[in-house]
Structure 1
Amino acid sequence: MIRFEGVSVVYDGADAPVLRGVDLAVPEGELCLLVGASGVGKSTLLGAVSGLVPHFTGGTLYGRVTVAGRDTRTHRPRELADVVGTVGQDPRAHFVTDTVEDELAYGMESLGLAPATMRRRVEETLDLLGLAALRDRPIATLSGGQQQRVAIGSVLTTHPKVLVLDEPTSALDPGAAEEVLAVLQRLVHDLGTTVLMAEHRLERVVQYADRVVLVPGPGEPPVAGTPAEIMAVSPVRPPVVDLGRLAGWSPLPLSVRDARRAAGPLRERLGEFEERGPGRSPGPGTGRAGEGPDAPAAATAPAYVTRLTLRHGPVTALRDLTLTLRPGETTALMGRNGAGKSTLLRTLVGMHRPTAGEVRVGGVTPHTTAPARLLRHVGLVPQDPRDLLYADTVAAECEAADHDADAAPGTCRALVRELLPDVGDSTHPRDLSEGQRLALALAVVLTARPPLVLLDEPTRGLDYAAKARLVEILRGLAADGHAIVLATHDVELAAELAHRVLVIAGGELVADGPTAEVVVSSPAFAPQVAKVLAPLPWLTVPQVRAALEGTS
């Protein structure tokens, strides 16, 4: 169905090809997973299948890429639209209409399908992706994860033979991700659809793949094989595979179920030292659910919220929410797409006026405080860091951040140098990888040294190595006394970093406690290691490694 023959791609001005000598065939009716670190050329490979490379990206494509017998060099994307459906990393770039139902129908209208067929497929897709309740909603009012599902649905309605997906579950909560992957499996198994997918959240998808293609590095030819074969040699791998490598299991497990079957001896060994386990230490996140400003620490807290209610027209986004954020504490804010996580973060930076209740950040009321003053109390890194970056160069971004924060010249650049040592002053932010843009946006926010740092889906688009670097940066900030709040669907990040987890459902706070207690009690939010080793308290592979090394 998809064939690469001696394919290389060189972008204008680049010193070397981003892809070199790619020979690859993906048969009909397979789910093929593309893995590799950020910046190795995965998105370029996907774009070559849809025709976006080189027709829209520029550069030169050498060799031949065919999809269902059509050469993508001689067929522009619109001439492949009936065969290939594509969803990129940024769903907002995908939309051409204003409402959910119109967006689902647009692709079919472009192909000239009959109205009765269009109506039936729209209804099927609404049900498949859990979007029926959102059918009349303006797309601009949806959460990032809801927009992701709409983007995927708009492609599914055209019934393409090939689906090309770039990070399709990155903005989805665990339940929604499982629903999307179940739909993809049904398309592959029942309809013979070919799916080519790049994804950094391997813990979600690797067990569903028929084959995995590893891109080792920029310009290096990909290596294809079964998931077990590639995971045995891949530098990027999910926690369950990492645990299997640590324990010496053969064959390596790809799913929690496989790992649990092999984990009996490891559980017995760790069980002897359970009293030393990470879950036995209550840590800093031991507050009562909904702890409010009457707590002793509230007077010096970076922020507190009292009985906060926020309505957008008929929609109640937050309902009677009370909490206190503490210095030096990292809090993971979790819940399904549309639960109100991003709304809470935006309220803390003054973007929303509460309908009822009180919000105080650093002693001021956010929505009535001038931005220049507020940024000294709180900073937000949004879901898409590009929303915060508007200059033409890294140097100009840093100068603007110094000016806005009234900081000494060079303050932001020193932070960037620490986070991105290899990025030059003249680099345009659009030329940075997702992880590099996130680091630049974080440096811009930290220039004002706000006591409260908020990050909305900070690991979206990050590989495991980039995520590990982010974890170390945020740990350093917490050690310096910053309060950090992460709105995230990344359960592995929460297990690795957070002292405390808040769960929001329907705008209400339904759980608040130490990470080990909250995530282990929830099948949806439990990390892979916790599921494998339950009922033992270990949450991550580094914790298990430290325990084994300390007892060997």
Structure 2
Amino acid sequence: MIEIENLTVRYGGEPVLTEVSAVVAEGELCLVVGPTGSGKSTLLGAVSGRVPHLTGGQVSGSVRVAGRDTRTHQPRDLADVVGVVGQDPQATFVTETVADELAFTMEQLGVAPALMRRRVEEVADLLGLADLRDRALHTLSGGEQQRVAIGAVLTAQPRVLVLDEPTSALDPGAAEDVLAALARLVHDAGVTVLLAEHRLERVVGFADMVISLDGGRAHAGDPAEVFAIAPVAPPVVQLGRVAGWQPVPLTVREARRRSAPLRERLGSPVLPTRDPGEAVVTAERVRVTYDGMIAVDGIDLDVRSGHVTAVMGRNGAGKSSLLWALAGAQRLESGRVHGDEQAALVPQSPEDLLYLLTVAAECRTADADAGAEPGTTRNLLDALVPGVDEEANPRDLSEGQRLALAVAIQLARSPQVLLLDEPTRGLDYAAKEHLVVVLEGLADAGHAVVVASHDVEFVAQVADRVVQLADGGVVADGPVREVLADSALLAPQVAKVLSPQPWLTVGEVSTVLAEEEP
């Protein structure tokens, strides 16, 4: 269905992709993996025809989709065959309501009204959108918007689906629902899916093949073979490498079957915890509503110095609204927030903080605004995502690169309280590990850090405390190990493999095993 032969893409300088070759058969789910900036989005763009027709650049080699050469077929010529879901759902919306958005592509393709209605209902049920069909798109949470964007593509029933981080804004439960829906399309309808995703722990079990990109070059093949040597891998694969398991496991189930000897060796973790300092931001009975809908419902919360607090919960639970309230940037219906003048917020959409024409200009301005030493912001950016072109326009960066730049700009201010809303969206494992180091350093220096996140693996690495929300209220508040290890939905992969012992990360296991070596 998808034939890629010696594909090379460059934008004036070094090639982004170099002689990439792969064949994805009809009815397969192919996972594209690689570090941030490795060319995943470019590869997906070449398959959809957006590269080079919409992006420019020099392309050699060929990509054929359902027999059509994407070099000679514009994206509009592929619209009946290829459906595309990008990283930013808001950028793709063209109507005002969920129902209209689900129907829009079919209207452009001339689908009969009766058939349109049936497909809208089927996709709404498939993705859990039935109760949202009359909602305005701008009132939806980030995860709800992502599901609508996927649904708007599915209603046209394309033979090939190209998805760029489709679960990045979704909570674990919603992500599983979307991936299960994609799996049904692959298995039951013969749809071919090409999917790029950084949160590999969510998707590896669904993949029929993997294309791993590193330095613009590709290694394609069976998932187990590729992940044995891939530069990025999910925690369960990393755990298998640390434990010396051959072949490496791809799923929690595979790892669990081999884990009994490892659990016996490890025992229970005895790890130090960071003592929280004083409360620097305090929320008292905070209540936030939108058009009569309750987003935050009377929450009391202390944000303490020297502490990393994670706010978790399903999409629409109130995480973003709570962070905006803690930053003093949200109108409260009732309650009070003390200390919000000490807080700096990085929103879900990092471009909200970016307004200059180059990365270098953003970094220089951030240094000047913060009164920091020249180069401070650039050094922070390099710690998160190395190698970002300083002359690049921030809007031309990948989602992960833009997010890293926004985080660096706020960190340059050395705020007493740093609030981050979904800070790992678009970041690969290495970039997340860098972010963990940065945030832990801030906490060790006495700052308070709050992250709202669906990324349980990141939370397991960085958080001291987890506050879990549901319907605008707090349903759990406690040490990260207690909250995560005790949850069937929120538990990270290592916790699921090594339960009942509450280990959370590969790093913890690796440290203990290293101490056993003579």
CA distance in 2, matches of 1:186, 1:435: 29
Q: Secondary structure, in 3 states, of the residue corresponding to 1:332? A: strand
Residue matched to 2:258: 262
Residue matched to 1:277: 270
Residue matched to 1:419: 381
1:383 aligns with 2:348: yes
How far off is 1:495 after superposition?
0.5
Structure 1 residues 284 and 133, CA gap change in structure 2 (3 angstroms): farther
Given that residues 367 and 376 in structure 2 are in contact (C-alpha distance below 8 angstroms), is that contact kept between their aligned partners in structure 1?
A: no
Letter in structure 2 aligned against 1:520: A
Given that residues 284 and 514 in structure 1 are in contact (C-alpha distance below 8 angstroms), is that contact kept between their aligned partners in structure 2?
A: no
Given that residues 274 and 306 in structure 2 are in contact (C-alpha distance below 8 angstroms), is that contact kept between their aligned partners in structure 1?
A: no
Q: TM-score, normalised by structure 1?
A: 0.90
Given that residues 214 and 234 in structure 1 are in contact (C-alpha distance below 8 angstroms), is that contact kept between their aligned partners in structure 2?
A: yes
Further displaced range: 504-513 or 17-26: 17-26
Structure 1 residues 415-474: Cα deviation after superposition (integer angstroms, max 9, x where no partner): 322432755654432344444333321232133322110111111111111111111111
Letter in structure 2 aligned against 1:225: G
Given that residues 144 and 315 in structure 2 are in contact (C-alpha distance below 8 angstroms), is that contact kept between their aligned partners in structure 1?
A: yes
CA distance in 2, matches of 1:422, 1:3: 31
CA distance in 1, matches of 2:442, 2:237: 30
Structure 1 residues 428 and 98, CA gap change in structure 2 (3 angstroms): same
Further displaced range: 126-135 or 389-398: 389-398
How far off is 1:7 after superposition?
1.9
1:37 aligns with 2:30: no
Aligned pairs for 1:19-168 within 5 A: 19-168=17-166
Q: Secondary structure, in 3 states, of the residue corresponding to 2:325? A: helix
CA distance in 2, matches of 1:143, 1:334: 14
Q: Secondary structure, in 3 states, of the residue corresponding to 2:51? A: helix
Letter in structure 2 aligned against 1:277: V
Aligned pairs for 1:284-299 within 5 A: 284=275
Residue matched to 1:9: 9
CA distance in 2, matches of 1:197, 1:168: 8
Q: Secondary structure, in 3 states, of the residue corresponding to 2:15? A: coil
1:231 aligns with 2:227: yes
Residue matched to 2:337: 359
Structure 1 segments of 4+ aligned residues over 6 angstroms from their partners: none
CA distance in 1, matches of 2:458, 2:283: 25
Given that residues 328 and 337 in structure 2 are in contact (C-alpha distance below 8 angstroms), is that contact kept between their aligned partners in structure 1?
A: no
Aligned pairs for 1:317-466 within 5 A: 317-361=295-339, 366=340, 374=341, 377-402=342-367, 404-405=369-370, 407=371, 410=373, 413-420=375-382, 422-423=387-388, 426-466=391-431
Given that residues 284 and 499 in structure 1 are in contact (C-alpha distance below 8 angstroms), is that contact kept between their aligned partners in structure 2?
A: no
Letter in structure 2 aligned against 1:93: A
Q: Secondary structure, in 3 states, of the residue corresponding to 2:60? A: strand
**Residue in structure 2 matching 1:521, options 468, 486, 494:** 486
Q: Secondary structure, in 3 states, of the residue corresponding to 2:214? A: coil
Structure 1 residues 51-105: Cα deviation after superposition (integer angstroms, max 9, x where no partner): 1011100012212211111111221111111110001111111111111111101
Structure 1 residues 344-377: Cα deviation after superposition (integer angstroms, max 9, x where no partner): 111122222111111112xxxx5xxxxxxx3xx1
Q: Secondary structure, in 3 states, of the residue corresponding to 1:462? A: coil
Q: Secondary structure, in 3 states, of the residue corresponding to 1:484? A: strand
Q: Aligned residues, how many?
A: 514
Residue matched to 1:312: 290
Given that residues 8 and 19 in structure 2 are in contact (C-alpha distance below 8 angstroms), is that contact kept between their aligned partners in structure 1?
A: yes
Given that residues 501 and 515 in structure 1 are in contact (C-alpha distance below 8 angstroms), is that contact kept between their aligned partners in structure 2?
A: yes
CA distance in 2, matches of 1:395, 1:156: 40
Further displaced range: 104-113 or 340-349: 340-349
CA distance in 1, matches of 2:188, 2:359: 49
Q: Secondary structure, in 3 states, of the residue corresponding to 1:509? A: strand
Gapped regions of structure 2 (runs ≥ 5): none
Letter in structure 2 aligned against 1:383: Q
Given that residues 347 and 353 in structure 1 are in contact (C-alpha distance below 8 angstroms), is that contact kept between their aligned partners in structure 2?
A: yes
Sequence identity of aligned pairs in percent?
Answer: 60
Residue matched to 1:538: 503
Residue matched to 1:208: 206
Letter in structure 2 aligned against 1:110: Q
Q: Secondary structure, in 3 states, of the residue corresponding to 1:502? A: strand
Residue matched to 1:370: none
CA distance in 1, matches of 2:153, 2:7: 26
How far off is 1:397 after superposition?
2.1
Structure 1 residues 242 and 402, CA gap change in structure 2 (3 angstroms): closer
Structure 1 residues 424 and 130, CA gap change in structure 2 (3 angstroms): closer
Q: Secondary structure, in 3 states, of the residue corresponding to 1:392? A: coil
Give the aligned CA root-mean-square deviation in angstroms.
Answer: 1.7
CA distance in 2, matches of 1:256, 1:422: 34
CA distance in 2, matches of 1:174, 1:425: 35
Letter in structure 1 aligned against 2:407: L
CA distance in 2, matches of 1:235, 1:258: 21
Q: Secondary structure, in 3 states, of the residue corresponding to 1:302? A: strand
CA distance in 2, matches of 1:345, 1:354: 12
Structure 1 residues 190 and 418, CA gap change in structure 2 (3 angstroms): closer
CA distance in 2, matches of 1:187, 1:160: 10
Given that residues 285 and 298 in structure 2 are in contact (C-alpha distance below 8 angstroms), is that contact kept between their aligned partners in structure 1?
A: yes
CA distance in 2, matches of 1:31, 1:398: 40
